[in-house]
Structure 1
């Protein structure tokens, strides 16, 4: 039987990593780990995995992260206005999406 999971976070949502202390925006979601399950370490491969565009003082990077390692980030001000303009479109509800993708 195939197990289906529902993603806790959506495209354009700002999240933070519980351990690595980075903040970022969800730019893609896989229903489960897209690589070799042995590479996930302690994280279960049978949960959603997110590509998160993290913005830091030295620029940005994309992290591929298990849902269990992420939490909602209520501090939307983590992104500067300059970073928002450079990387995202923002809708009236404050959801962020990469410039190349429309917000649904």
Structure 2
């Protein structure tokens, strides 16, 4: 029997790394780690992992993070970052300007 995890965060949701390494918008969810087994850094690969479009002073970047190190963030992104990188639906979910929300 296999264990099925339910993702805690949804596509378009704003999250932050619990160590404040970054904050950004969830762009994709993998049900488990999608990479070389040697690169989990001691984090269990048997949990959802997220591709997060993170914003910073130098622009945006993609982070790949385990669910255990992410927290939901109710704060909004800076208005300039929102206009530069995203469209926002009526529920506050974000999507890149060139993608549609799921």
Aligned to 1:89: 87
Counterpart check, 1:99 vs 2:64: no
Deviation at 1:39, TM superposition (A): 1.2
For residues 64-79 of structure 1, the aligned pairs below 5 Å read 64-76=64-76, 79=77
Structure 2: segments with no counterpart, 5+ residues: none
Structure 1: segments with no counterpart, 5+ residues: none
Aligned residues: 102
Post-superposition, which runs of at least 4 consecutive aligned residues in structure 1 deviate over 3 A? none
Counterpart check, 1:18 vs 2:18: yes
Partners in 2 of 1:62 and 1:20 — Cα distance? 15
Partners in 2 of 1:66 and 1:46 — Cα distance? 9
Partners in 1 of 2:32 and 2:7 — Cα distance? 10
Aligned-residue Cα RMSD (Å) equals 1.3
Query: What is the TM-score of this pair, normalised by structure 2?
Result: 0.91
